[in-house]
Each structure stands twice: as structure tokens, then as C-alpha cells.
């Protein structure tokens, strides 16, 4: 069963020892033809969502709450903001960045999410637009540097794994 209401409020929000809000996000991805090809970056598509406050595009992300693991938070944010379900994979990294709306710093954790299902209805459907893009398009569309860095790490990881598989054949 999929929950169709987004979590609201910050009463369960996690903060680190420096009082930075902990934020978790995913880079939802899929392969254009449903399978990995010989050039992963060309075969790869990533899903971006619009901000609630502006047309700016980004990867789904939000607060990590006390009652969930970091992977559960990543999966929940992808469902709430982008309407996708899938496999949360190994962490891409952690970044400290300044909030756009306040003079606060956040610590962001990013994960790849291999999309297995895309829903027609999801909690923030009326508040956001979602768009599948090539890696090159996503690099242009996403304004947040830390998210672009996470995307580069994901592409490098997927490219390296493809090269390793080819060398084993």
C-alpha cells in the first residue's frame, strides 16, 4: 500500500551536532530501453521535480525524520515529490549547503534510486512537475551544485560498473 499524503511539519526532524538540518534526497534513474547499454550516460535518464516555490528543477529531497532510516527517508521523498518507487542504492555522498530561503545550513545525503514503478497519482502531484531528462539536460536544469556533484558521482559509478562488467567478459 502506498501512502497518498505527504508528511508535514518539523517536529520529528533530525539535526546534527552543529544544528544543521539533515536532508535526504534521491536521484531517481532508469535506462531508456529498460536495460543498461554500452554507454551508460547516453542510456541513462534521471527524474527531476520542480520546486514548490519556483520553476527551478531539482532531485527529490526533504527532511530526514527521527522515526525512519536514512534509506526510508530517501524512498519516502521520492514517492512524495516525484511519485516513483524503486531500489535505494549505496549512498553517493554528504554535502553541507546553505538553505535558499533562510540563513541556515543543511547537511544533505544523496542516494541513487533505480526506478521500478512510476505512479500516476502521488502526494505532491498538484504541487510539482516531474520530468525525465538525459544526464546532460539534468546538468543544465538543476541549479543546486551539490546535486550536480551527486549526479556526477552516480554517472561515474554506473560507468565504472559497466566497464568492469565488460572487462570480465
Task: Render pLDDT for 20-42 as a digit per residue (tens, 0 to 9).
Answer: 999 999 999 999 876 665 566 77
Q: What is the pLDDT of residues 106-155, one digit of tens each?
A: 999 999 999 999 999 999 999 999 999 999 999 999 999 999 999 999 99
pLDDT of residue 156: 93
pLDDT of residue 159: 85
Phi (first) and psi of residue 128, to 5 degrees: -135, 155
Domains by residue range for the chain, with CATH:
21-168 (3.90.79.10)
Report the chain's mean pLDDT, rounded to a whole number: 88
Q: What is the pLDDT of residues 31-89, one digit of tens each?
A: 987 666 556 677 899 999 999 988 899 999 999 999 999 999 999 999 999 999 999 99
pLDDT of residue 38: 58
d(CA 55, CA 51): 6
d(CA 31, CA 141): 19
Phi (first) and psi of residue 134, to 5 degrees: -70, 165
Percent of the chain residues topping a pLDDT of 70:
83
Amino acid at each position: 500500500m502506498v501512502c497518498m499524503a505527504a508528511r508535514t511539519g518539523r517536529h520529528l526532524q533530525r539535526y546534527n551536532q552543529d544544528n544543521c538540518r539533515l536532508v535526504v534526497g534521491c536521484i531517481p534513474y532508469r535506462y531508456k530501453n529498460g536495460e543498461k547499454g554500452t554507454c551508460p550516460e547516453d542510456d541513462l535518464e534521471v527524474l527531476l521535480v520542480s520546486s514548490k516555490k519556483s520553476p527551478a528543477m531539482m532531485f527529490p529531497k526533504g527532511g530526514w525524520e527521527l522515526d525512519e532510516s536514512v534509506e526510508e527517508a530517501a524512498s519516502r521523498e521520492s514517492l512524495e515529490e516525484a511519485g516513483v518507487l524503486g531500489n535505494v542504492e549505496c549512498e553517493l555522498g554528504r554535502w553541507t549547503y546553505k538553505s535558499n530561503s533562510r540563513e541556515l545550513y543543511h547537511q544533505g545525503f544523496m542516494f541513487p534510486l533505480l526506478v521500478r514503478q512510476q505512479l500516476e497519482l502521488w502526494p505532491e502531484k498538484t504541487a510539482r512537475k516531474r520530468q525525465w531528462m538525459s544526464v546532460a539536460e539534468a546538468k543544465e536544469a538543476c541549479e543546486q551544485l551539490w546535486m550536480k556533484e551527486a549526479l556526477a558521482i552516480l554517472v561515474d559509478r554506473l560507468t565504472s560498473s559497466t566497464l568492469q562488467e565488460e572487462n570480465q567478459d
